[in-house]
Amino acid sequence: MQAVVLAGGRGTRLYPLTRSTPKPLVTLFDRPVLDHTLSLLKRHGIDNIGMTVSYQAERIIEHCGSGERWNACIEYSLEESPLGTAGSLKPFQEKLTDTFIVVSGDGVTDFDLTEAIAWHKAKGALSTLLLKPVEDPSEYGIVETDAHDRVIRFIEKPQPSEAFSTVANTGIYIFEPEILDFIPNDRPFDFSRNLFPSLLSQDYGLYGKPMDGYWCDIGNLSSYRQVHFDALMGRLNLPWGFGPSDNGVWIHPEAEVSNEARIDGPIYVGRGASVGRGASLGRFTVLGENSQVHDHAILSASIVGSQATIGAQSRLHGCVIGRQAQVEPSEQIQWSLLLHDLEHPLSPELIAA
């Protein structure tokens, strides 16, 4: 089974988290988001993968290599200039000889792709959009289907007065190889702006499949935080590799947590992380691998990157602490993104219950 992973975006809305890291390599529980995507594909028997790259392409290629880590084969297409979401498929035309799936390298999902592909084939569809209801449709393309699951209209990021649906296009597509004949060579061509309107106008088989399971487009810092919290609450099925206690406390066997530390789950403590005496890890705290939380520090609803240091008696709430960043002893920070040389405010938000 074949797939194309779109991994060329700059991630400007995730800045400054993406200032020196391409968006697909931003970490989620000590693994790049892209790794979670590739692992999902492999679990569903999809191991022949084309990947589009552009921004910091060399970083992504170096990280993924030929795909051996996933027992997969990965080939790359480097976009010297933007080709658009659909146009980026064209370089793979000779290799895409059977039904294939297109996924974003910076989204997170646990969809049953095997079931979706079987549904697509049973419909005899040329193209299938995987759909998911959302609370706020203004950030997504929204879709309406008829009683036979055929797409009859859609609009990209509607104004409130334009929103005819709350069913979002997840940006995950299943195509037959003939779809590539609709995509021109060497010029930008987009799924939502170009390809899908063309298919609708010519009455080709454009279907929409509602999906169970979890999906999140990590489009901004708020969604980046929320996907961590959703996973801790069990809404997202991730292969953690080690199990929680009864109260949702995920502590890697190679982490060191003082018996005098206070733990209030759900939390995650990664490999090699350490938590000192009297420290308090409140709900929705995430500690990356080899991070250090010193004595009597208090953390809640905060994500701490790998090799970061949280000083003694400091207090953090609602923060994202970058890789190798340092919080000084007794410092108090809330609703901030802290990198090793930069502090950036975050919007105070309630964790979606």
pLDDT for residue 243: 77
Interval 326-336 mean pLDDT:
96
Between 163 and 173, residue with greater pLDDT: 173
Residue that finishes a domain, picked among 188, 219, 250: 219
What does pTM read for this prediction? 0.93
How many whole angstroms from its chain centre is CA 127?
23
Interval 42-69 mean pLDDT:
97
Cα gap 106→216, rounded to integer Å = 9
pLDDT for residue 353: 44
Do both 247 and 196 map to the same domain? no
Range of the domain at 264: 240-345
pLDDT for residue 349: 65
**CATH number, residue 145:** 3.90.550.10
DSSP label at residue 351: P
Cα gap 82→105, rounded to integer Å = 16
**CATH number, residue 283:** 2.160.10.10
Q: Are 249 and 264 in contact (CB under 8 A)?
A: no
Q: What is the pLDDT of residues 276-316, one digit of tens each?
A: 999 999 999 999 999 999 999 999 999 999 999 999 999 99
| Alpha-carbon separation of residue 142 from 17, 169, 209, 349 (angstroms) | 28, 6, 13, 25
* Number of residues that this document lists for the chain: 353
**By 3-state DSSP, what share of the chain in percent is helix, strand and coil, each rounded to 5?**
25, 30, 45
Residue that finishes a domain, picked among 219, 248, 266: 219
Q: What is the pLDDT of residues 217-256, one digit of tens each?
A: 898 899 999 999 999 999 999 888 777 777 889 999 999 9
Q: What is the DSSP string of 263-275?
A: E-SSEEE-TT-EE
Do both 132 and 255 map to the same domain? no
pLDDT for residue 278: 98
Do both 210 and 250 map to the same domain? no
Do both 168 and 260 map to the same domain? no
**352 pLDDT above the threshold of 90:** no
**134 pLDDT above the threshold of 70:** yes
Do both 310 and 339 map to the same domain? yes
Q: Does residue 225 lie within any of the structural domains?
A: no
Q: To the nearest whole percent, how much of the chain has pLDDT over 70?
A: 98
Q: Lowest mean pLDDT: which of 40-44, 148-152, 347-351?
A: 347-351
Q: What is the pLDDT of residues 258-278, one digit of tens each?
A: 999 999 999 999 999 999 999
Q: Does residue 233 lie within any of the structural domains?
A: no
Q: Lowest mean pLDDT: which of 11-25, 209-223, 297-311?
A: 11-25
Do both 272 and 191 map to the same domain? no
